[in-house]
Amino acid sequence: MNFIYKMQSEIEDKIRTAINVIKSGGTVVYPTETVYGLGADAFSEEAVRKVYELKQRGLSQPLSLAVSSFEMLQTVAYIDPDLLAILTELLPGPVTVLLKKRDIVPDVLTAGSDVIGVRFPDNKIAVSIIEETGPITSTSANISGQNPPARVEEVEIDADFIINGGRCKYSMPSTVVAMTSVTANEEKADIVRKIEIEIKRRGACYDRVLHVLRSKAVGEGIHRISVPELRRERDR
């Protein structure tokens, strides 16, 4: 029992350190259920730019952010009411959802786009950090183009702090799903809102994600679901 208590205490100390580093504008490598992420204050342009520099990633390539609750999710993105039933089935989990961003999200994070990628990780360490810091960047902790790390020993990013959470559960990047609401003029009379869903990347739990989307589509009035050809992606 003493050994278990000591380990838990050490993890809690590391989580507190990670929180302080992020709140101070620094960068943290943290575990998720997919791969290790590189986190910084998502609302700080300076901190986000540090993430780009560490990853050697071009500013034209957007970054996702991570939240710890649906309430936090709604502060950074617009959620169509018809999508809530789907999102609650998918999240928390190994899925990145692309949604229309709110103004609070800095343009540097989205490369000027009005769409933000959002993760709600199913990992206690990650969630514990985000609960105290607010939204943080969610991008794999690797140099762009290299393999994302599933173990802390594989991390080569020189972040301000690294928290070891063991091997990631799925050890592969998240599945990326775009959810958009569009309007259509049917028969030049009524303006009709339609929801379109597109899986942009096959990743962790892809089969389950596809099953959820298809099973919920009829009841939630989804207009169209499309899936990509199978391909491997390095960054989540």
Based on the structure, what is the number of domains in the chain?
Answer: 1
The token duo for 127 is: 């969630």
The helix-helix angle for 124-133 and 2-23 (nearest 10°) equals 40
CATH number of the domain enclosing 156: 3.90.870.10
**CA dihedral in degrees (208, 212, 213, 217; nearest 10)?**
160
50 found inside a domain: yes
Radius of gyration in angstroms for the set of CA atoms belonging to the chain, rounded to a whole number: 18
Identify whether 194 is part of a domain: no
| Cβ contact 55:150 at 8 Å | no
Return the percentage of the chain with pLDDT > 70, whole number: 85
In a domain, 158, yes or no: yes
Model's pTM, two decimal places? 0.89
For residue range 46-72, list pLDDT tens digits in order: 999 999 999 999 999 999 999 999 999
Domain ranges, residue 27: 2-78+91-175
Tell whether 208 is covered by a domain. no
Q: Is residue 235 part of a domain?
A: no
- DSSP 8-state assignment for residue 218: T
Residue 140: inside a domain = yes
C-alpha distances in angstroms, 205 versus 33, 48, 95, 147, 165?
A: 11, 28, 8, 19, 20
Best-predicted range by mean pLDDT among 108-112, 193-197, 210-214, 222-226?
108-112
Q: Does residue 68 sit within a domain?
A: yes
Q: Which amino acid is at 198?
A: E
Over 80: is that where the pLDDT of 185 sits? no
